[in-house]
Amino acid sequence: MIENLLHSMTVQEKAGQLNLMTGSMDVTGSKASEGMEAKVRAGECGGVFNVFTPEATRQLQEIAMKSRLKIPLLFGYDVIHGHRTIFPIPLGLSSSWNTELIQKTAHVAATEAAADGLHWTYSPMVDISHDARWGRVAEGAGEDPWLGSQIARSMVEGYQGKDLSAVDSVAACVKHFALYGAVTAGRDYNTVDMSRRSMEETYFPPYRAAVNAGARTVMTSFNDIDGVPATGNRWLLTDILRNEWGFKGLVVTDYSAIEEMIQHSTTADGEQAAQQALHAGVDMDMVSELFLKYLPDLLATGRVTEEELDHAVRRVLILKRDLGLFRDPFSRSDEARAKKELFSDAHRALALQAARESIVLLKNDGATLPLKKSPGTIALIGPLAASKRDMLGCWAAAGNDNLAASPLDGVLRSLGDGASVLHARGSDVDDSEHVRLGGSFFPQLDPRGSEEMLVEADKIAAKADTIVLVLGESWEMNGEAASRADIRLPDCQRALASRMLATGKKCILVVMSGRPLDLTWESARFPAIVEAWALGTEGGYALADVLFGDFAPVGKLTMSFPRAVGQLPMTYRAKNTGRPANDKIRYTSKYIDVPNEPLYPFGHGLTYGSFEYGAVNVDSPTMQPGGKVTVSAEIKNTSDKAATETLQLYLRDVVSFVTRPLKELRGYQRVTLQPGEEKNVRFAIDDSLLSFPGPDFNPMVEPGEFEAMVGPNSAQVKGVKFNRLK
């Protein structure tokens, strides 16, 4: 069928299948498509994004079915962390360290998206990043390539299921290929300069894991790689992705990325850009329409070949076939199924579970949390305390913020008649000069002004026994085009925090954000700090459950929180250098004003309880090639309540022919222990966990000494050594 279609198509129709246009139901870029219906009717559009609902997609699909060859449209959308039911932002979800849960959220997102007329999601974003200034860290799984790979695999499997043609399945799109998380200075759309070894050891693994999991599409990144934009980089898209990794699916550009190669100054005009992108291995052009405009002439003049063009068209048609669109182009435009699936009770229950498990307890001195529900007065104060929209975070897809639970909603429901709840805004999210001059897309400033809001907060706080302060970033302050040079809380929020601390009352800080923030000032002053990210539809209820102890926190950071922005980029997977940091020796690798270590390390997260960690042991001092050893660690619950901990396994190759990180995550286990209960937690280690890219960048294992380390986070570990034999 595919070959018969190819044989029947004109060159213009072939170019049309490679043309991806945007609708107007959402705005996700700076350029809009024009004349969509006419192009669909003429067979000059292969797919549409930012159009959803059974009604809207059916209307366009019916037009496609009246085109000469009746090739169905492909409908895509940025379903990043849920479609109608919104889950925590991906960085928050990754903090659950629960890949089974993450897979379930992806499946629910796919079920809802497919019920709402969609075939394709531009997710997962698997970019590794060590720089919290980059706004898009909100969309990823943090700093670790091993954990990022597990999450990438789970999301692909959740979206696509076992049968891509099933009506609850959508095609996954791995993005942004490649290296986009390493943009210089954490500034979106910026350049990337990286060694091949860093690519292979740190940045490539999650992309490769997603491809190996069967992801059907890959999206190019905006950045250049070794001087060549990813969208026109044949080494990346053909030599690596297709030839080395064996990817057989469709490659789509990011928004207008082909056209933007002109701005990169690697192509002179749109015609040359289209030629370079097709030759590199791009199959579908998002929004710029340069394929549609120039491919016929490029083919006629021999600057692209018919084989190149047909390969791209064939991949688009195969995806449509495998989605079942040729069999029934309207299978995902079913109003009855949409009414059943969208925002269902079961989906909301999963969103509540996901939000609970994503919350990270950063600090809890003196068992300040959980709060009691006994009679009294709680003041919920802060610019985000009553915000519903900010619970959904960036990339909220088709979520309805009116249906979201704010922190205030959650506290009111949790307490019922048990206590009095007061509320004050207290400050704007940000009232800096940049905002006042209109230099950002932040919410409009409250007309009352800073001092009036502070006075209101003072009056509310004076009536309260406990203050819960909800500060952080609005949803516009993270995600795409939301890089920040200063990742501290804005001055107006810190002024509010100072006023509340000055009351001398019990004061808990809840931080809502899409990135790790510099909380050094806050950490020195607040007895308890909760990182709540943007928790999604049910987030306010989940937050209240944690604050009042109905659910004990289990989240662990997947990205380190710095002490100062000057530490960025940073990662726990640092190498030793020839002069490792030593506070007693001046000429070593360190800062003179802050420690090298983060404020809160990768893997950190507290719970309501305490643990005692025993020795780490290995069952054999030697490991045979192809064999394994078992590392064990003792853990005891020393509290008077059941408690859950996630023990993490880190490995180090002590002597290697290339420099290696001091520790690398290679496993973890979540255990729940009753009061006083002890458990011996075991990790099996084989060659797959010791492997690393060798001289030719193929996987290899060196013989010699290794250290296995186990602990509750990357900074607090105990270790044992063993030898891997030749």
pLDDT digits (tens, 9 = 90+) for 340-371: 999 999 999 999 999 999 999 999 999 999 99
pLDDT of residue 449: 87
Which segments within 14-155 are labelled E, that is strand? 19-22, 47-49, 74-77, 120-121
The CATH number of domain 358-565, selected from 3.40.190.10, 3.40.50.1700, 3.40.50.300, 3.40.50.2300: 3.40.50.1700
Evaluate if residue 437 carries a pLDDT over 70: no
Per the annotation, the verdict on 640 as an active-site residue is no
| Dist CA 674 CA 672 (whole Å) | 7
Give the full edge-to-edge strand order of the sheet including 377-381: 360-364, 528-531, 506-512, 466-472, 377-381, 420-424
3 state SS of 207: helix
| Dist CA 184 CA 29 (whole Å) | 21
3 state SS of 355: helix
| Dist CA 654 CA 441 (whole Å) | 49
The residue to which tokens 């490792």 are assigned: 580
| Dist CA 102 CA 106 (whole Å) | 6
H helix or E strand, kind and range, residue 633: strand 628-637
Task: Give buried/exposed letters for 502-538 (b at 16+ CB in 10 A, else e).
Answer: eeeebbbbbbbbbbbbbbeebbeebebbbbbbbbbbb
| Dist CA 87 CA 94 (whole Å) | 11
pLDDT band at 285 (very low <50, low <70, confident <90, very high): very high
Cis peptide leading into residue 130 (ω within 30°): no
Averaged pLDDT, 249-259? 98
pLDDT of residue 31: 81
Evaluate if residue 185 carries a pLDDT over 60: yes
pLDDT digits (tens, 9 = 90+) for 402-414: 999 999 999 999 9
Query: Virtual CA dihedral for 462, 463, 466, 468, nearest 10 degrees?
Result: -80
Task: Give buried/exposed letters for 445-458 (b at 16+ CB in 10 A, else e).
Answer: ebeeebeebbebbb
State phi, psi for 17 to the nearest 5 degrees: -65, -20
Kind of pairing, strands 228-229 and 611-618?
unpaired
pLDDT of residue 509: 98
pLDDT band at 419 (very low <50, low <70, confident <90, very high): confident
For the chain, percent of residues with pLDDT exceeding 90: 95
3 state SS of 223: coil
pLDDT band at 433 (very low <50, low <70, confident <90, very high): confident
Query: Are 540 and 392 spatial neighbours (Cβ–Cβ below 8 Å)?
Result: no
pLDDT of residue 443: 64
| Dist CA 203 CA 224 (whole Å) | 15
Question: What's the distance, Cα to Cα, between the start and end of the chain in Å?
Answer: 53
Enter the tokens of residue 205: 């693994």
| Dist CA 319 CA 72 (whole Å) | 11
Q: How many H helices and E strands in the chain?
A: 24, 26
| Dist CA 540 CA 534 (whole Å) | 10
Query: Are 383 and 407 spatial neighbours (Cβ–Cβ below 8 Å)?
Result: no
pLDDT of residue 444: 72
Q: Where are the alpha helices (DSSP H) in 342-444?
A: 345-358, 389-392, 407-415, 433-436
pLDDT band at 617 (very low <50, low <70, confident <90, very high): very high
pLDDT of residue 30: 78
The CATH number of domain 611-724, selected from 2.30.40.10, 2.60.40.10, 3.40.50.2300, 2.60.120.10: 2.60.40.10
State the sign of the Cα–Cα–Cα–Cα dihedral 479, 481, 482, 486. Answer: positive
Enter the tokens of residue 708: 């296995």
| Dist CA 148 CA 203 (whole Å) | 10
> Which residue out of 131, 254, 285, 428 is catalytically annotated?
254
| Dist CA 21 CA 50 (whole Å) | 9
| Dist CA 137 CA 324 (whole Å) | 34
Nearest residue to 287 via CA among 21, 29, 77: 21
- Where does CATH 2.60.40.10 sit in the chain? 611-724
| Dist CA 255 CA 236 (whole Å) | 19
- Where does CATH 3.40.50.1700 sit in the chain? 358-565
pLDDT of residue 156: 98
Query: Are 514 and 135 spatial neighbours (Cβ–Cβ below 8 Å)?
Result: yes
Nearest residue to 548 via CA among 492, 508, 497, 605: 508
pLDDT of residue 439: 60
pLDDT digits (tens, 9 = 90+) for 50-82: 999 999 999 999 999 999 999 999 999 999 999
pLDDT digits (tens, 9 = 90+) for 668-677: 999 999 999 9
Evaluate if residue 438 carries a pLDDT over 70: no
Mean pLDDT of the chain: 96
Reported as half-sphere exposure (CB side, CA atoms, 13 A), residue 653 has a value of 20
Query: Are 85 and 351 spatial neighbours (Cβ–Cβ below 8 Å)?
Result: yes
Query: Are 265 and 232 spatial neighbours (Cβ–Cβ below 8 Å)?
Result: no
DSSP conformation letters of 17-48 = HTEEEE-SSS--SS----SHHHHHHTT--SEE
pLDDT of residue 381: 98
Computed on alpha carbons and rounded to an integer, the radius of gyration of the chain in Å comes to: 26
pLDDT digits (tens, 9 = 90+) for 119-146: 999 999 999 999 999 999 999 999 999 9
Evaluate if residue 248 carries a pLDDT over 90: yes
